[in-house]
């Protein structure tokens, strides 16, 4: 991911040797911070003899929080997929994928499964749009329903959002506490800190242009999972289960005739794209005071408060996706689209019944 996203923004980590006791202690520490439905995500393999030591990107280097006014504010954003796929290999019944973002459709499935209680208004297409107004709208929507996609840290401590996606939506009480916490960094009247915080994040996301690089990597997925799954079965030398289930071998014959080397590249690029669709973007801010020495960091000017901030961006959660997950990706994709289509159909039927009812009452 270094050449794709920029080595300045990718922390490859340092390999260090560890003991089994250390790994078991880490697992016990993490388990108690996970919601019950995500405990399995915290499993640690105690048989490993080494781990990667990664920098804590929620803080600025040399920021301790001990010195007065020495505060670091950090935002973690999971952008998710920022483009719509082409129709070429998508089944007719799944054509909605070319007009509605995967994130929006996935919200319907999560609601149906009871994983969330509020549908997020966040749309990744806004965040990746290149329009400052749309980027601001995206950040504001993430603030309203952070779920597992938006967290804020002050000197490395979580002050907004939940561990493991526990924060479903922002309440008035949470909003007030968050606004108060921002006083340490953003100079403003009471009740206005959150508003200017949104402007700060928007300005830095827009100015950095780094989401353009993320989008380029995401777009390595050139034929969608509905196309890539056929190449996966060719690579692992197994009969194509999708062709067997759909009974449409002729429609996908062109895919199965692609040379093996090309198939390998397309599937590899799909898996790299999957990492880019699931990464997190960490943006850390430190207010630059009068008399501060020149910094190697980028700077952003917050006009509303007349403050200059040093900021740095790092991408995390860059683990390569394993080849064996291809079938899972396909099955999940079909589940997401099916649930969304059924939900929209049911909503339309309710609207039609209400319309008929109103018409009959009027007559």
Task: Tell whether the model's pLDDT for residue 52 goes beyond 50.
Answer: yes
Q: Give the pLDDT score at 350.
A: 74
In 3D, which of 129, 146, 164 has the Cα closest to residue 77?
A: 146
Residue pair 58/74 in contact (Cβ under 8 Å)? The answer is yes
Task: Tell whether the model's pLDDT for residue 174 goes beyond 80.
Answer: no
| Average pLDDT of the segment spanning 214-234 | 97
pLDDT band at 64 (very low <50, low <70, confident <90, very high): very low
Q: Give the pLDDT score at 109.
A: 96
Task: Tell whether the model's pLDDT for residue 166 goes beyond 60.
Answer: no
Q: What percent of the chain has pLDDT over 70?
A: 87
| Average pLDDT of the segment spanning 321-341 | 97
SS3 labels along the chain:
CHHHHCHHHECCCEEEECCHHHHHHHHHHHHCCCCHHHHHHHCCCCCCCEEEECCCCCCCCCCCCCCCCCCCEEEEECCCCCCCCCCCCCCHHHHHHHCCCHHHHHHHHHHHCCCCCCCCCCCHHHHCCCCHHHHHHHHHHHHHCCECCEEEEECCEEEECCHHHCECCCCHHHHHHHHHHHHHCCCCCCCCHHHHHHHHHHHHHHHHCHHHHHHHHHCCCCCHHHHHHHHHHHHCCCCCHHHHHHCCCCCCHHHHCCCHHHHHHHHHHHHHHHHHHHCEEEEEEEEECCCCCCCCCEEEEECCCCEEEEEEEEEECCCCCCHHHHHHHHHHHHHHHHHHHHHHHHHHHHHHHHHHHHHHHHC
pLDDT band at 340 (very low <50, low <70, confident <90, very high): very high
Q: Which residue has the higher pLDDT, 256 or 36?
A: 256
Least confident of 246-250, 266-270, 281-285, 329-333: 246-250
| Average pLDDT of the segment spanning 155-179 | 74
Partners of residue 158 on adjacent β-strands? 153
pLDDT band at 68 (very low <50, low <70, confident <90, very high): very low
The reported pTM is 0.89
pLDDT band at 36 (very low <50, low <70, confident <90, very high): low
Q: Give the pLDDT score at 290.
A: 62
| Average pLDDT of the segment spanning 91-105 | 96
């Amino acid at each position: 991911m270094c050449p794709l996203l920029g080595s300045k923004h990718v922390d490859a980590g340092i390999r260090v040797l560890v003991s089994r006791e250390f790994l078991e202690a880490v697992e016990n520490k993490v388990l108690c911070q996970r919601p019950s439905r995500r405990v399995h995500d915290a499993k640690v393999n105690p048989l490993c003899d080494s781990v990667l030591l990664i920098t804590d990107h929620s803080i600025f280097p040399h920021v301790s929080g001990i010195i007065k006014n020495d505060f670091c504010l950090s935002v973690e954003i999971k952008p998710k997929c920022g483009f719509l796929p082409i129709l070429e290999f998508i089944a007719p019944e799944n054509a909605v994928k070319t007009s509605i973002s995967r994130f929006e459709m996935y919200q319907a499935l999560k609601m149906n499964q009871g994983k969330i209680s509020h549908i997020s208004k966040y749309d990744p297409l806004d965040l990746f749009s290149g329009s400052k107004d749309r980027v601001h709208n995206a950040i504001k929507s993430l603030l309203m329903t952070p779920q597992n996609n938006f967290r804020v840290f002050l000197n490395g401590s979580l002050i907004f959002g939940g561990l493991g996606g526990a924060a479903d939506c922002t309440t008035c009480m949470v909003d007030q506490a968050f606004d108060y916490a921002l006083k340490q960094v953003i100079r403003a009247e009471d009740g206005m800190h959150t508003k200017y915080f949104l402007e700060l994040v928007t300005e830095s996301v827009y100015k950095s242009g780094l989401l353009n690089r993320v989008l380029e990597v995401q777009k390595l997925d050139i034929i969608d999972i509905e196309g890539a799954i056929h190449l996966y079965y060719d690579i692992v030398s197994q009969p194509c289960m999708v062709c067997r289930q759909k009974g449409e071998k002729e429609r996908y014959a062109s895919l199965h005739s692609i040379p093996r080397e090309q198939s390998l590249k397309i599937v590899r690029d799909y898996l790299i794209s999957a990492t880019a669709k699931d990464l997190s973007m960490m943006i850390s801010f430190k207010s630059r005071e009068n008399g501060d020495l020149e910094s190697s960091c980028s700077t952003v000017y917050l006009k509303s408060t007349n403050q200059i901030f040093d900021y740095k961006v790092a991408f995390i959660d860059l683990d390569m996706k394993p080849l064996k997950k291809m079938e899972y990706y396909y099955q999940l994709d079909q589940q997401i689209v099916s649930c969304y289509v059924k939900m929209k159909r049911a909503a339309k039927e309710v609207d039609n019944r209400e319309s008929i009812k109103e018409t009959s009452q009027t007559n």
